Amino acid sequence: MSKLVFWIFHFLSRWMLRIYYPGMEVENLQNANHPGPTLLCGNHPNTLIDPLIVGIHLDYQTYFLANAAMWINPVMAFLIDPFCIPVARPQDKQAGATKGMDTDEIFNRTFAGLEAGEVVYIAPEGASELERKLRRLKGGAASMALEAENRNDWKLGLSVQPVGVNYESPTTCFSRAFIRYGEPIDVTPYREQFEESPMRAIRALTNVLTDQMQGLLIQTQNKAEEHLLRPIERAIQNERPMKVSDHHYRTQRILAALRKMPEDNLEALRETATSYDQLLRKNGQLDVEFSNHPDRKMTAGTLLALPFYLYGLLNHAPWLLAINGIWKALGIDRGYKATVQTLGSWIVLPILYLLQVLAFNWIFPASWGWLYLLSLPISGLFALKYWLTYRAFWKGRFSGSSADNKQLEALRAQMLRAVPEV
């Protein structure tokens, strides 16, 4: 039963995340996509999406260490319990979670999965935070890996598999994502150290894991550096678009170049970038509106495809209203926005499609409902592509005052001139 439920979730997650993250790319999947006991260690900026977006690419069943608060809902608990292991954090206990309190039970269920040759996912940071860096790793992942080998006389063949998930916008649906699987870490070389001092071996393995995971991410040093990098990389991408993997490496080069700038020049750039970003936010505008890229220009496709876009938008307006309504009604942290909207669509979208087809057949009882049903997903995907391509053109026609737009254009040009070439 657990395998059936898992593969249903796996199938639904794979096609849904491909829609919600259409620009997703994967690097070095072969490092992780193999049988054998594997502790899959990923960063955690986007709540439930992180383990899903890492696991959907693997051809093997994956078990997940998950927040115990998810077991409070009995329906959710029934669905996830066969392949998820509850871990109670202090905030989960305050929320009323009763699962995941026993540390020995957590470790024993994890060991059972690893000893059966399974893949087990863990987020060593411990909690999900919207930061552009890997936070300090806890020792649980290293402790589990080393103790699992120790229990099996160091013959288990366990590997610790680092993975980094890079979102261009963690809280936004349809963001591009770049998933990078690093080189697996063999834990057997830590045997002697573990037998002499388990804590020293755990720290050593955690340090190696930290270094490898940081190398898979855009690793900012602090919030000030993160706030400086965001408007710069966004403007450069809108001016010179690249696929998500190339943009990731370009952003790493931009960050390295910024760190080499003289302090006076860096401070002047920070003031310009901050002023530009704050004015954009104040006006509710996007950087892409000020790009000189051809997608901002009027083309035949912009006008000819508009009716098809409007058809797709009209037919998916109930879905957009529903998932945004669910998000607002829950009133939870914005870090869960993309998660709620993505997972909620598993249920909401099929139901709305069914209701729309029934309404269509009632209004037009000529047995054309099947054709209308076929048009729904096709028009939805078309509308998504059109919106991602041409939204800047249409939004730029109606947003911002003339004076503010001129100021934004000047600040943007000044900011880009100050950024070193990469």
Please tell me the predicted confidence (pLDDT) of residue 307: 93
pLDDT of res. 111: 85
**Class of residue 203 by CB neighbours under 10 A (exposed 0-12, middle 13-18, buried 19+):** middle
User: What is the pLDDT, as a whole number, of residue 250?
Assistant: 96
pLDDT at 96: 59
Q: How far apart are CA 319 and CA 307, in angstroms?
A: 19
Q: What is the mean pLDDT of each run of 10 residues along the chain (422 residues)?
A: 72 82 92 90 83 88 77 69 71 60 72 86 80 88 93 94 90 86 95 95 96 95 92 93 94 95 95 94 86 76 89 93 82 70 82 93 84 93 86 72 88 94 80
Counting runs of H as helices and runs of E as strands, what totals does the chain give?
16, 8
State phi, psi for 142 to the nearest 5 degrees: -65, -40
Say what the pLDDT of residue 391 is.
76
Kindly tell me the sign of the dihedral angle through the C-alpha atoms of 272, 273, 274, 277: positive
Q: Please give the full DSSP string across 358-381, using - where no structure is assigned.
A: HHHHHHSTTT-HHHHHHHHHHHHH
* Whole-number Cα distances in Å, 57 to 28, 46, 61, 181, 211: 11, 17, 11, 11, 24
Question: Within 13 Å and on the Cβ side, how many CA atoms surround 148?
Answer: 30
